Amino acid sequence: MPSLLRKAVAEFIGVAVFVGAIVGVNYNAPVNPLAVPVLAGTLGLMVLLTSDTSGGHLNPAVTLFFAVKRQISWSNALAYFAAQIAGGVLGAFLGGAMHGNYNLQVNTAIIGKGELLSEVIATAGLVWLIGYLASRDRGNIIPFVVAAWIFAAGSFTGSGAAANPAVTIGRMFSFAAPIGVEQGMYFILAQVLGVLVAVVALMFVTPVAKAKKKAKK
Amino acid sequence: MPSLLRKAVAEFIGVAVFVGAIVGVNYNAPVNPLAVPVLAGTLGLMVLLTSDTSGGHLNPAVTLFFAVKRQISWSNALAYFAAQIAGGVLGAFLGGAMHGNYNLQVNTAIIGKGELLSEVIATAGLVWLIGYLASRDRGNIIPFVVAAWIFAAGSFTGSGAAANPAVTIGRMFSFAAPIGVEQGMYFILAQVLGVLVAVVALMFVTPVAKAKKKAKK
Amino acid sequence: MPSLLRKAVAEFIGVAVFVGAIVGVNYNAPVNPLAVPVLAGTLGLMVLLTSDTSGGHLNPAVTLFFAVKRQISWSNALAYFAAQIAGGVLGAFLGGAMHGNYNLQVNTAIIGKGELLSEVIATAGLVWLIGYLASRDRGNIIPFVVAAWIFAAGSFTGSGAAANPAVTIGRMFSFAAPIGVEQGMYFILAQVLGVLVAVVALMFVTPVAKAKKKAKK
Amino acid sequence: MPSLLRKAVAEFIGVAVFVGAIVGVNYNAPVNPLAVPVLAGTLGLMVLLTSDTSGGHLNPAVTLFFAVKRQISWSNALAYFAAQIAGGVLGAFLGGAMHGNYNLQVNTAIIGKGELLSEVIATAGLVWLIGYLASRDRGNIIPFVVAAWIFAAGSFTGSGAAANPAVTIGRMFSFAAPIGVEQGMYFILAQVLGVLVAVVALMFVTPVAKAKKKAKK
């Protein structure tokens, strides 16, 4: 089994590439209609690449969900959080550097409308889908489903569906895809609330059928 | 097995998220070329998420098809219809709320040209594909096929391919993706006709081969 | 096994829906950047829907290939050709009718540049991919691969990659996606040449490995 | 087993079609928002088509990786390099010819910003993903993953993610998708560096678990 350090490095690199893509795509075409699918695809590939090392969380909201479900210890979850957030900040830098901009900044921008409800829904949907598939032994399609959901929610929400505290923090410091520090804090609260919604939905709306549970024992 | 209530809640939430996406995506970009694939993707994911709880119908036309095929009782079908329609109205509200607009309205808009033929074809194709795959034990790819068909038919028809009475009713009350109440009634009639076309096509054009039927007994 | 009539009806409907989509999508947005993927997706779905009835050819070039390979008799192939061409003409009508236009016309338009080389490459690639997958028992992914190739070749060729004589003939009579009758004849010649290229490529560049052939016997 | 000549021809044709698509798509729409996914799809299909003949490298960077991993001999790798580069130049010609332009030229254009870091990241990600999947016996999804990564990296990097020396060389001579000869040399150096990054990442970040390795023996 990979050591915790190796897992943390995988999470760190995966988030860095994803946030690098978020920031980098904005340099090529500020109104590129394909920006959202590009980012969805990048995230899906990074989840795939890190899945059998770290579980491919790449998102503190996902790690929080698995910690609540006791599928990762809280001490390991803390290491994941740190790696993911550090990856988000590195990604904010790399995204610019791939376009010849080597600076970071502290943002104060305010984006979106109805954005807190948007983040609750975007995060709840993401975590519900992941938890649903993980509990049915269909983890192999999680990378594709995560990509599809981020593509969808990134396009229909008022916030653009960060749905990820590490991405939110990385973007606080980016030039090309900014979220203000203060607004970002509210985003993260909404994302945590979304995780709770997903936990409840998995228990009461789409629980694993009892017969199947027994069969697995 | 999940209770009928749980199934109805799954249908309710699935339709609400789908209609919320239909309405929400229009706030971000009224002429977003990706609006149709976004919605197709959202529907596919919701079908996937609810498939092993309620069967992932999320559409009274699909429920009607399975009731005609006696794969769901008529009393359960009525509960599905109610849940789907209520989900459609909630979705019309959520789609606006995710962009800071908390109002609903009664629409009178008239959209499309050749729209009744369009709805017949869009619904017949959708239900035919679902019935074809369900009868071949290939239900696992239904979420992706539904998404692809809605993407295609949403782009080549004159009506935008609602192909779904619950969506049609929800949109009667939405700000951002309106269908007029009166026109919507004709849409629903055309959608019911599309279900009948699909039933006939499955019986006479793509029936399950007899040898395979025997093998299953 | 389905009768020849049933197979012909499946081919007829499949081509009609595909050509209906080609024509219909042009009414919604003459420069819709998603027109090509919409059509690719429609074709993929129709191939899937008709695959276990007629084999899902939906293209005289594909039927010609399987006739040359002796996997369909020449008399059945003639019935397929007739059904496919009739489907193409019906589709040209339906595509307009879905947008309130009930007329057909005889076209004289000339489209594209370098279009004959384009049709050879587009058809050769399509048939090579289908023949390659069919010979490796990977027929289940043909619908998706056909969609992806038509999406790609439709975008990089000078002709738009009809790659299909039935589509070419249907479009000779459509309002919204015209090919001139005379130019269309040259398209069809180029498409037949493309089938020959694919036959040669399958024999000499990507033959089935002999060990595998034996194992199948 | 196919002879080395057959493998080289497969690599030659695969690269020629891919580079032909890169050049050809620029004639249809110089600012086509779908150009990158078109090319990603073309590459994925060519990898699929050549996978069981030549391994579907279609990229000297990929061949270099497998040579370093001793999964292809260095002498065979040299034959692959020659075939891939010749395919790149033929593709540059075909891409124009499909649009009635039968000329090549020697380019001096300079494209992108931060382009060397971009090529390192784009190539490292591509080769890492391929090596990761190949080492887990998941080679069957490589064509789709390669397509997704090229779609993503082509959109978020400052260089457009050639990530392929044969493509880089072909484009040095194309009209419609030019890279200058001198800049191209630096691209190729960056791509080789990307291969090294991928080799290191596979060894230290996502190695195959030891238990699994044993099980395979």
- A206–B53 C-beta distance less than 8 A: yes
Of B114, B136, B156, the CB nearest to C100: B114
Check CB contact of D187 with chain A, cutoff 8 Å: no
Residue D31: the pLDDT is 54
Residue A31: the pLDDT is 53
Question: Is the per-residue pLDDT at C180 higher than 60?
Answer: yes
User: b or e along B27-38 (b: 16 or more beta carbons within 10 Å of the residue's beta carbon)?
Assistant: bbeeebbbbbbb
Check CB contact of A132 with chain B, cutoff 8 Å: yes
Cβ contacts of A156 on chain B, cutoff 8 Å: 20-22, 24-25, 28, 38-39, 42, 95, 98
Q: How confident is the prediction for chain C on average, in pLDDT? A: 92
- What's the CA gap between A98 and A23, in Å, rounded? 10
- What's the CA gap between A40 and D155, in Å, rounded? 12
Q: What's the gap in Å between the CA of C81 and the closest CA on chain D? A: 27
Residue A26: the pLDDT is 87
A122, A163 contact by CB (below 8 A): yes
Q: Which two tokens stand for residue C69?
A: 């390979």
- D42–C156 C-beta distance less than 8 A: yes
- What's the CA gap between D206 and D217, in Å, rounded? 20
Question: Is the per-residue pLDDT at C199 higher than 70?
Answer: yes
C-alpha distances out from residue D124 to D6, D153, D194, D200, Å: 28, 11, 4, 10
Domains delineated in chain A: 4-216 (1.20.1080.10)
Residue C211's pLDDT band (boundaries 50, 70, 90)? Answer: low
pLDDT digits (tens, 9 = 90+) for C112-126: 889 999 999 999 999
Check CB contact of A2 with chain D, cutoff 8 Å: yes
Residue A142: the pLDDT is 95
Reported pTM:
0.90
- A37–B1 C-beta distance less than 8 A: no
Q: ∠ at Cα A57 (A22, A17), nearest 5°? A: 30
Neighbouring CB atoms inside 10 A of C84's CB total: 31
Alpha helix (H) ranges present in chain D?
4-28, 35-54, 60-68, 74-97, 115-135, 142-156, 165-172, 181-204, 210-216
Q: What's the gap in Å between the CA of B188 and the closest CA on chain C? A: 17
A186, A107 contact by CB (below 8 A): no
Q: What is the DSSP string of chain A?
A: ---HHHHHHHHHHHHHHHHHHHHHHHHH-TT-TTHHHHHHHHHHHHHHHHHHHH-S--SHHHHHHHHHTTSS-HHHHHHHHHHHHHHHHHHHHHHHHTTT------------SSHHHHHHHHHHHHHHHHHHHHHTT-GGGHHHHHHHHHHHHHHHSSS-----HHHHHHHHT-SSS---HHHHHHHHHHHHHHHHHHHHHHHHTSPPPHHHHHHH-
Neighbouring CB atoms inside 10 A of C92's CB total: 29
- What's the CA gap between D56 and D43, in Å, rounded? 10
Q: ∠ at Cα D49 (C195, A35), nearest 5°? A: 110
Arithmetic mean of pLDDT, C56-80: 97
Residue D109: the pLDDT is 84
- What's the CA gap between A15 and A160, in Å, rounded? 18
Question: Is the per-residue pLDDT at D172 higher than 70?
Answer: yes
Residue B203: the pLDDT is 94
Residue A30: the pLDDT is 52
Q: ∠ at Cα D67 (D61, D71), nearest 5°? A: 125
ipTM associated with this complex: 0.89
Residue B159, SS3 per DSSP: coil
Residue D32: the pLDDT is 67
Alpha helix (H) ranges present in chain C?
4-28, 35-54, 60-68, 74-97, 115-135, 142-156, 165-172, 181-204, 210-216
Residue C35: the pLDDT is 83
Check CB contact of D145 with chain C, cutoff 8 Å: no
Arithmetic mean of pLDDT, C200-208: 94
Residue A215: the pLDDT is 52
B198, B127 contact by CB (below 8 A): yes
Cβ contacts of C36 on chain D, cutoff 8 Å: 34
Digit-by-digit pLDDT tens for chain B (217 residues) are 459 999 999 999 999 999 999 999 988 765 567 888 889 999 999 999 999 999 999 999 999 999 999 999 999 999 999 999 999 999 999 999 999 999 999 999 888 889 999 999 999 999 999 999 999 999 999 999 999 999 999 989 999 899 999 999 999 999 888 999 999 999 999 999 999 999 999 999 999 876 555 554 4
Residue A36: the pLDDT is 85
Cβ contacts of D49 on chain C, cutoff 8 Å: 128-129, 132, 206
Contacts of A32 (CB under 8 A, 6+ apart): A25, A38, D33, D155
Neighbouring CB atoms inside 10 A of A141's CB total: 15
Residue A50: the pLDDT is 96
> Residue C102 burial by CB count (10 A; 0-12/13-18/19+): exposed, middle or buried?
exposed
Residue C1's pLDDT band (boundaries 50, 70, 90)? Answer: very low
- What's the CA gap between C110 and C126, in Å, rounded? 23
C-alpha distances out from residue A48 to A51, D21, D33, D128, D155, Å: 5, 28, 26, 11, 19
Of B151, B206, B209, the CB nearest to C38: B151
Q: How confident is the prediction for chain D on average, in pLDDT? A: 92
Residue D36's pLDDT band (boundaries 50, 70, 90)? Answer: confident
Residue D198: the pLDDT is 97
Number of residues assigned to chain B: 217
C-alpha distances out from residue A158 to A18, A34, A116, B29, B105, Å: 21, 17, 9, 11, 20
Residue A1: the pLDDT is 47
C52, C126 contact by CB (below 8 A): no
B159, B111 contact by CB (below 8 A): yes
Of A114, A129, A156, the CB nearest to B49: A129
The ranges of chain A with pLDDT < 50 are 1, 216-217
Number of residues assigned to chain A: 217
Q: What's the gap in Å between the CA of B101 and the closest CA on chain C? A: 28
pLDDT digits (tens, 9 = 90+) for D38-93: 899 999 999 999 999 999 999 999 999 999 999 999 999 999 999 999 999 999 99
A87, A12 contact by CB (below 8 A): yes
For chain C, give the percent of residues with pLDDT over 70: 94
Residue B217: the pLDDT is 43
Which residues in chain A (67-126) have CB-CB distances under 8 A to chain D?
Answer: 94-101
Residue D188's pLDDT band (boundaries 50, 70, 90)? Answer: very high
Residue A45: the pLDDT is 96
Residue B26: the pLDDT is 87
Place of tokens 């399609």: A141
Residue C141's pLDDT band (boundaries 50, 70, 90)? Answer: very high
Cβ contacts of B117 on chain C, cutoff 8 Å: 94, 97-98
Of A128, A155, A207, the CB nearest to B38: A155
Contacts of C180 (CB under 8 A, 6+ apart): C107, C108, C109, C110, C111, C172
Of B34, B45, B99, the CB nearest to A155: B34
Residue C36: the pLDDT is 85
C183, C166 contact by CB (below 8 A): no
